[in-house]
Amino acid sequence: MNLIKILAIIFLLALLGIFIVYNSQTVNVSYLGIKFENMPLWLVVFISVFVGIFIGWLFMFIDELSVKRKLKNAEKEIKGLKEEIAQLRQLTISKEE
């Protein structure tokens, strides 16, 4: 299993190296009035990918917080309903004669 992991890492690093070699030309980037001159194209691509990953992670984190809040509210409701059931079970049923 370790051999497969090592081979996979070597393969991915080789692909990364090939990508960097073929995309080493420089580009000028202007974003929100800030100019970046002579940046390697591969760096622009990697920055874009990592910013996208971060934004996706941020939305996932916000969604997870929302789900946790809903779960907590549902657990409180379940606890209240269980207490109500326990109270109802303790009531004695009286027959009217």
DSSP H or E run through 81: helix 41-90
- Give CA–CA dist 82/90, Å, rounded: 13
Give the length of the chain.
97
Per-domain residue ranges of the chain: 8-90
Bridge partners of residue 26, in order along the sequence:
40
pTM score? 0.63
Rounded mean pLDDT of 21-47? Answer: 90
Rounded mean pLDDT of 63-86? Answer: 94
Q: Cβ–Cβ contacts within 10 Å for residue 49, how many?
A: 10
**pLDDT confidence bin for 69, thresholds 50/70/90:** very high
